């Protein structure tokens, strides 16, 4: 009596999930970052503007956070 031969299962694909992001998934965070950066660099448009330049204030805050 002949023995049955087993076929090998197909190997799994190693490429992972092929998924594309919509265009706005990148555009919206970039737009938000740029708008916040513009507000940071030009604080005269803000209501509570100070006399200190925004770049110097940003660097001072960054140094304060890093030295904690």
- Exposure string for 15-30, b = 16+ CB within 10 A, e = fewer: eeeeeeeeeeeeeeee
For residue 38, is pLDDT > 70?
yes
Report pLDDT for 28: 93
Q: What is the rounded average pLDDT for all residues in the chain?
A: 77
Q: How confident is the model at residue 13 (pLDDT cuts 50, 70, 90)?
A: low
Contact call for residues 45 and 38 (beta carbons, < 8 A)? no
Map residue 37 onto helix, strand or coil: helix
Report pLDDT for 4: 76
Report pLDDT for 9: 75
Q: How confident is the model at residue 12 (pLDDT cuts 50, 70, 90)?
A: low
Report pLDDT for 24: 87
Contacts of 49 (CB under 8 A, 6+ apart): 43
């Amino acid at each position: 009596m002949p023995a049955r031969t087993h076929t090998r299962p197909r190997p799994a694909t190693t490429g992972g999930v092929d998924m594309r992001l919509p265009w706005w998934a990148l555009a919206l965070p970039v737009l938000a970052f740029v708008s916040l950066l513009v507000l940071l660099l030009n604080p005269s448009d803000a209501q509570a503007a100070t006399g200190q330049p925004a770049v110097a204030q940003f660097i001072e805050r960054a140094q304060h956070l890093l030295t904690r």
